Structures are given as C-alpha cells and as structure tokens.
Structure 1
Amino acid sequence: MLRPVPALLALALAPLHLSAQAAGPDAAARALQPKVVEWRRDLHRHPELGNQETRTAGVVADHLRALGLAPRTGIGPTGVVAVLKGGRPGPRIALRADMDALPVTEATGLPFASTVKSEYRGQPVGVMHACGHDMHVAILMGVAEALAGMREELAGEVMFVFQPAEEGPPVAGEVAGARRMLDEGIWKEFRPDAVLGLHVWSRLHAGQLGVRAGPFMASADEWTLKIRGRQTHGSQPWAGVDPLTVAAQVLLGAQSIIARQVDITAHPVVLTAGQIQGGTRFNIIPDEATMVGTLRTFDPQVREDVIARLRSTAEHFAAASGATATLEVAGNAPATSNDPELLQRLRPALERAAGAGNLVEVPRYTIAEDFSVFANEVPGLYFFVGTTPAGQDLATAPMNHSPHYAPDESALDLGVRAMLQATLAFLEGG
C-alpha cells in the first residue's frame, strides 16, 4: 500500500507545482498498473450479467476490506459501496464503476477470453465484458487503493460505488442499476458534493480522454408495442385482422415521425425497432404481434413528444385495420449531462493525466448511460478513456458491444491516473 509523505502529497496537489502534482498521483497509479491489469483479466474471464454480479462483488468487497474499508454489499442487489474518510476535513465525492457484462459470445481470441454461458430473458447466451465494465471495475479498485494509501493526507471523503445492471435490468420494466441503488439509500447518510465516472471507448485512441460540457449522451427508453388483431388462416386473410401487416405499417410510419415531424437539426432523435415477434406457423395469421425497440433523445420535452407521436401513429394504423395497439415505455436512463462548472474546474487535472493535446472534445452520442441518474442528483462529470490502439482506424475498430471488442490495456493506466487526478483536484478545491 502506497503512503506518500505529506510533503510530497502537498507538492502533488499544489496548483503552482504542476510537475510535482503529475509525479505524485501518476507514480502511485503506475505502481498499481500490474495489479490493475491482473484484476481486469480475472474479471474478463468471469463476466456476469446484470444483477448477477455476485463473484465480481465479492472480489471488490474483499479488496476494499483489505484496504481497511467497511464495504456495504447486497445493494440493488449486488452493488458494493464503501467510504474512505480522509485525515483532514473537506468535501465529499462519489466515484462510480459499473460491473455488469453483456449477453454476447466473445470472439476476440484473447488468452483470457470468456467462455461463460448463461440465460438472458429466456434465451441461452454467451456472456462477455464487451463494453469494458471489467476495466471500469479494475480502474476504480486501483483508485481506491491509491487513495487509501494517502488517507491521512486527504481532505474530505470519497465514496466508491460499484454498480450492477448498468446495461439495463434482466427483466423488462424492472428497476435496476443506479436508480435502484439510490432507491435503496446509498446516499441517505452520505450525499456527495459531486460524482465522477468514466467509460472506456473505442471511438478514441489509447492515450486520449474525451469530454463534453452539457448533454452529450442520450436518454434511453425501451418501448414495447403490442398489436392485437384476429387470428385466421393464411389462405383467407379477409376473415381476420392481420397484426403483422399493421406492425409493418407502424414500423415505416415510425420512421416518418423522425424524418418529417421532428426538427432533428435542433434535437437529435433515434427511434429504432430491434425486434418483431408474431406467429408460429407459415399459414396462420396470428392474433398478436409485438414490437420492441429503443428511443434516444437529449431533451425531455422532445422525448415526451416523440412517445406521444409513436402512440398515435400505432393506434391510428391499428384502427384503420380493425386492430388495437398498446404502447408501453420503460425509461432506462435519462440523458447524461456534464456539469459545465465541474468540468471547467477539473479539466486541468484531466489534461495533466492525458498529456498535451490528448484531452479532446467529443460530439454528442446517442448511446446512453445510467450514470445520469447519479448526475441528476448532484453535479456530475463523466469522461471517456480511449481504447483503440494508435494507428488503428477508429471507423473500423470493433466498437463497444462487439464480440471482437478487445481494448488496449494501456487505457487502464490512463483511467486510474485521470480518475485519481480529478478526485484529488476536487478534494483540494480544484
């Protein structure tokens, strides 16, 4: 466990001594790099789906206990939380890492590739850390160890939040992830003054950090549309009401909502159907068809407007054919927005960690993150850590969620250093 002497830590945190500041936290982070890599590879071999992260939670809790902390476990239901109290008074900050893997069969060929199989919403699946949450957990474990080694000199308190089910609940419509952890009271007795999070990201090169002030990741809604017709033999469609035809009409009509009814130059919107189910046999028109999809928006009012338009479109197409349509929408995450003042305050720390020219402004993305639930409670800062090797084309590199996603492990070092620098800067007044 690293314990820098007070004089060194003071130099590391003094705004007028930037080289010393970089040397202190950076040295602590780099000394931990072999451990962080080992943790990440172990977690990668043993991925777990949302709300099933029992082994991962055990690894995290054991590590926090070894640092002299008293973790709370079983939150939401597999989350882990611990608080580190510094030796000096100061502000409170929460650091969050998500732990869950995806229902993806790994195809990287890595020596520590996952071979885990499981079941997701009734379907047999492979399980893989295809989004990089194994890296997030390992990074935060490293940050926790570095900060624990500095606890006597720290000003304030740090909460480490290891969150389950960021990728959504294992059961459609179920409350999970960040929302469930807050509902179960993780901030009841410890309400932070700010919350930080990060995500490894294939659309940046290794060595780069990405930030953006204000809204930069979309809200995510999961919608389910049930169209009820009337079963009949396929040779006599006029004797029933075909819900599959109505589903096709609604699918095309939904795209006209975005193309013709929403000003997407001002408000980017994505409305996607990812699944259509209906029928069991080639010559039977079924009673019902179900469509499932996602809606991504950056503005709450635009979100409500598009939902209303989708419902109206579905109901009118259905009514024209003698069918009925019922739309249900489950909000998985609001839009993620970086607090501009917090970003401005901590930008120098991120720049020191990344080096000159490596802190880049990213565009708005229509991906989503339930870190936003935390950041809607207190000021939040969320940043990306590049994972595509230098020289590899970003446009063709396997994206997060790909079975071929194999992030450059140098991102672990930068992730630890960036989170550590930002945390120390916040605790010391920025």
Structure 2
Amino acid sequence: MSKRVWLAGVAAAVAMVGTAQAQEAPPPPKPYDAAVFAKAKDLQPKVIAWRRDFHEHPELSNSEVRTAKIVADHLRKLGMEVRTGVGKTGVVGVLKGGKPGKVVALRADMDALPVAEQTGLPFASKVTAQYNGQTVPVMHACGHDSHVAILMGTAEVLAGMKDQIQGTVVFIFQPAEEGPPAGEEGGAPLMVKEGVLTSPKVDAIFGLHAFPGDVGALVWRPGPMMAASDRFEIKLKGKQAHGSMPWQGIDMSSVAADIVTAFNQISSRQINVSKTPTVLTIATMHGGMRYNIIPEDMEMAGTLRTFDPGIRTDVIARAEKAVASISERYGATGKIEWGTPNPVTDNNRALTAQMKPTLARASQGQFHDDIDYIMGAEDFSYFQREIPGFFYHLGVGHPKGGNHSPFFDVDERAMETGVRAQALMALDYLSAS
C-alpha cells in the first residue's frame, strides 16, 4: 500500500480482518466457478514461484524495470496486446473476450520500499538501490510482490477462458504506488494522465491488497475505506547560537516542540472527531550538527489523513496558522508546504453491492464487508475518481509488524484465493453487463 506508513486505525481494521470467518454461506456457484477454482489451484506453485522471485529482486518506485519485463513477457505469451512504459515502467495487457461486452480493469502495484529485510526467508532481499540521493536497502515490505504474482496468475486463468468472456479485461501493472522519487511523476495519477483508462475505455476497475488477517479472508467496506493522504514539510529558520547561551539565538528545538504540541491539539481538540477519523502526524525532525550548537534551520515532515474534504481544509488552515504564529512568537520564520494529495479510497457503493456475492464465492464464505476505516492511503483512489472502482483486502496471515515492517511476509496459501477473486470479479462483472 502506499506509499506511506500505516497509521492509527490499522489495528482496528486488522482486528476486523481477524474475525472474517464464514459469516454467510457463499451464494450458488456460476457455471465457470469450477474451472476458475481448478485453474487457480493448478497455478498455485507457479504463482508462488513468481512471488518469491519478485521478493528476492525488489525494485523501488519508477525503477520496476526487471519486474515489468517479466510481466510483459508473460502477457505476450498469453496472446495479449501489451503496452509497456505506461506511467514510466507500467505494463498494460488487453485481453479481448470471444463475445462483445463492457471493459473491466484489474490492477496490481509493483514497487517495493526502502526497508532492510529481517524476515530470514531463504529468498529474502539483499538488494540495495538509490533513493532520493542515498543508497538504501530494498524490500517488498507491503505485499506488492504477491499482488503482481496474483494478477499474473489471474491473467493466465482468464486467457484460458477467452472464448467465454463477454467483453474485455485490462490488466494494469502499476509502478510507484508507494510514491515516485522526489521531483518525479508516477503511480496511478500518471497512468491515468497517460490514458490507461481510455484505451480501451474502462467501465469499472478492481484491485486487492495483502493485509494482516485470516489467511484467504476478503474484507472491505462500501464507500470511504482508506484515508486521503497529504504529505507536508515544515521549514523553520531562526538564529544560530552556542548551546550554553540560548538567549543569544532562537531555540529551534523549542519552536519545533511547540509545533508538535499544537498539531496534536488540532487533531484531538479542535476538530469534530465524532464525524470521521482524522490523523495529523509529524514523523521526522532534522536540525543541527553538534550537541552544543543551536542550529539556524530546522526541518520537519509528516502526514495528514482525513476522510472528509471539509475537515481536511480546516486542518490544513489550522496547521498553517500554527506554524506561522509559533515561529513568529519565537522570532523565527516558518512555512509549511504541502505535497500532492492522494484522495480517499472510496468504493463505489453500487459496484460494491453488486460484487459482494462474487467475493463471498471466491473466499468460500470467509469475508467481512463492513470493516473499520483504515488510516493508510492508496493511490488506487485516482482510478476511482475517474470510473467506478472497488478495492478490497486479502488476509495473508499475521506477519510481525504488519505492512511496511522489515518482518512483513505473506502466507502464500492466500494467493490462491486472490487469483480466484480477481478472475471471478472480472467474469461476474462482464457477464452481468
């Protein structure tokens, strides 16, 4: 998942995933269910092998060259029309069914994170790469390796059923979900900009994400599911002085500390927390070179997570006012700069209701369709702004630390369910057209 750190609210969502046990009997099967289930089972060793290969060879955002080549070669072998270099390193495969109908898209993200792996797996990553000017370790710490493998398996299942498909399936393998490098475009916004949903014109899109929970459980909520995400940077400038004589300068640590306190009060005391969840976090603080020198400059960075546009606007205004007024009080200057936001991941309610029986069958009744809000963000939301979209989570066990942890791992048994889910979502949507 994004880019992006899994923030408050994830624990509650994980708890909901953990209770996703056969709430209802799955609906009656469709004529093609048996074939999909059988093929997904047959492909499981292949899907596992792909996932382990991608895990051992992770690539950062906008650098998914090796991954993209493997994906493109696979789609071409399946007889698809394939476009590469979409959104820098993205791959798009188009499977035209044997019967006319609508167009549905399935999406998987391909990028890894600057994380030093500590899983101890035999296929653990030892890769390093350049990230914003630094050499960093690289790891698939968010399950994107499994997403790619699942969608490759789904592509093979559906290609084998081509004559039965009523319409067209577009397979979108997306780079940079975790956010492009500084100064670059990337991810879902760039793919949308380059026409991934218009050539051919897509009617609906589905995506899944590996998440801590019961193995093979499928969970989601209609409407807003994952938060809008705003990144911010605060730049402070004061007056340098010797640490033993702070009155000769401006104490930048005190300025920064007061801003942190003010931000915590904004999210807990100044907005209506009963409406929707809101999180305002300062995650990094940098300033100074030596223990006895008060620095002239201080930089801070963090994230705002919201579900309500009005609350978002209000919090941004309060944060800007707090930075300016606190800085002025100390005699410093301060400015907050906001990055490009990710919108709320908002599941189209009609589409979600339509596809609920599909995921009930795919998971064999192991699902939950009303999980708590999740404060993490997803740039799948950019697709949902253009067309109806449905994003759901796949339980992959309970890895230590959860998503973005150096210990994150996937219980590979879940991937068979993932393949079934994505294939049935496409078939059911198109057959209902």
Do the structures match in fold with TM over 0.5?
A: yes
> Aligned AA for 1:69?
M
Displacement of 1:122 in angstroms is 2.9
Displacement of 1:422 in angstroms is 1.1
Q: Does 1:145 align with 2:163?
A: no
Q: Does 1:244 align with 2:247?
A: no
Secondary structure at the counterpart of residue 412 of structure 1? helix
Which structure 1 segments of 5+ residues have no match? 1-14, 389-393
Decide which of 301, 319, 322 is 2:328's aligned counterpart. Answer: 319
Aligned to 2:418: 415
Structure 1 residue ranges, 4+ long, deviating more than 4 angstroms after superposition: none
Aligned to 1:12: none
Contact kept? 2:106, 2:172, Cα under 8 Å: yes
Contact kept? 2:359, 2:367, Cα under 8 Å: no
Displacement of 1:23 in angstroms is 1.1
Aligned to 1:427: 430
Secondary structure at the counterpart of residue 374 of structure 1? helix
Decide which of 374, 379, 383 is 1:374's aligned counterpart. Answer: 383
Which structure 2 segments of 5+ residues have no match? 1-25
Deviations 1:8-47 (A, max 9, x none): xxxxxxx996264431221122221111111111111100
Displacement of 1:366 in angstroms is 0.2
Displacement of 1:247 in angstroms is 0.9
Decide which of 194, 200, 206 is 2:204's aligned counterpart. Answer: 194
Aligned to 1:4: none
Question: Distance between the aligned counterparts of 2:28 and 2:367, measured in 1?
Answer: 21
Displacement of 1:359 in angstroms is 4.0
Displacement of 1:51 in angstroms is 0.5
> Aligned AA for 1:408?
D
Contact kept? 1:50, 1:166, Cα under 8 Å: yes
Deviations 1:180-235 (A, max 9, x none): 11112223332211010000111x11021101100010011110000111222223
Aligned to 2:69: 58
Aligned to 1:256: 265
Q: Does 1:121 align with 2:99?
A: no
How large is the Cα RMSD of the aligned pairs?
1.7
Question: Distance between the aligned counterparts of 2:402 and 2:69, measured in 1?
Answer: 29
Between 1:367-376 and 1:282-291, the stretch displaced more is 282-291
Aligned to 2:297: 288
Deviations 1:47-88 (A, max 9, x none): 001011000001101101111113111122111112111111
| Larger RCO (CA within 8 A; separation ≥ 6) | 2
Aligned to 1:211: 220
TM-score by length of 2: 0.91
Distance 1:198 1:226, change over 3 A: same
Contact kept? 1:194, 1:380, Cα under 8 Å: yes
Question: Distance between the aligned counterparts of 2:162 and 2:102, measured in 1?
Answer: 14
Contact kept? 2:188, 2:379, Cα under 8 Å: yes
Distance 1:332 1:44, change over 3 A: farther
Deviations 1:100-153 (A, max 9, x none): 001111111111111111232233321111100000000101111111111122
Deviations 1:271-330 (A, max 9, x none): 111110011112222211000101111112211111111010110000111111111111
Report how many residues are paired. 408
Secondary structure at the counterpart of residue 32 of structure 1? helix
Distance 1:331 1:292, change over 3 A: same
Secondary structure at the counterpart of residue 205 of structure 1? coil
TM-score by length of 1: 0.92
Question: Distance between the aligned counterparts of 1:422 and 1:399, measured in 2?
Answer: 27
Between 1:253-262 and 1:15-24, the stretch displaced more is 15-24
Secondary structure at the counterpart of residue 129 of structure 2? strand
Displacement of 1:239 in angstroms is 2.1
Question: Distance between the aligned counterparts of 2:32 and 2:356, measured in 1?
Answer: 14
Decide which of 279, 284, 288 is 1:275's aligned counterpart. Answer: 284
